[in-house]
Amino acid sequence: MDDQYYKIAKMIDHSLLSPILTVPELEAGCQLALAYDVASVCIMPFYLKRCAEILEHSQVEPSTTVGFPHGGHAMIVKLREAEQALEDGCTELDVVVNLSRVLSEDWKYVETEIGLLTRTAHQAGQKIKVIFENCYLADKHKIELCRICTAVNVDWVKTSTGYGTGGATLEDLKLMRENSPPPVQVKAAGGIRTLDKLLEVRDLGVSRVGASATRSILDTCRERLKLPAITF
């Protein structure tokens, strides 16, 4: 596989989180992710076990969400969600922060919750992305979340669920990269629908994007690299 294509495809978490997707659409989405060899499939929790079976023996990771999409679940419920996801084969957890606690600046609660879920993922040998949902936050909240995520060693800080009032912005990505050390990666989600947009955020230091327009993005990539089209 062309190295340039591989590097771009491995930036994409193929999002299958729309609540109105049917089971045949979830199955087809997993097959698309395999065909295009993306980084992961981020799928609704109830379908994770089947997703992990489909992706077994591939280099595409099965991932899911915790506390999605508003982050307001009780901490014990989020913990149980994470444990169930890990039991079902999840290798990357996408966790929404408790937005009410963040906006209340109850940082002790927020750090306790993120720390608990990060330890749970890491003790299972898996990774965690923490979703800020920036469209509802001020810069001071985003900066403090970066500090907390750094302190508890999360793997990625992530801009958005894709289901809030706004998605990833260049300003937020710059802020998150500037306030997170290199071991903490940055993921952009919400509004990444073209190859040019993906390349633009990559230039800011983003290592992953959440996308539902995966096929369009990677077809464009292959066209530009003069690679044969993928059919499946």
- Candidates 7, 12, 43; CA nearest to 188 is 12
**DSSP letter string, 94-135:** EEE--HHHHHTT-HHHHHHHHHHHHHHHHHTT-EEEEE--GG
End-to-end CA distance of the chain: 16
187 catalytic per annotation: yes
Strands 208-211, 12-16: parallel, antiparallel or unpaired by DSSP? parallel
Which of these is catalytic: 78, 127, 129, 158? Answer: 158
Q: How many CB atoms lie within 10 A of CB 109?
A: 15
Q: Do 163 and 69 touch, CB atoms closer than 8 A? A: yes
Which of these is catalytic: 13, 88, 94, 155? Answer: 94
The answer for residues whose C-beta is within 8 angstroms of residue 213's C-beta and 6 or more apart is 192, 193, 194
Which of these is catalytic: 78, 127, 142, 187? Answer: 187
127 catalytic per annotation: no
Active site residues: 94, 158, 187
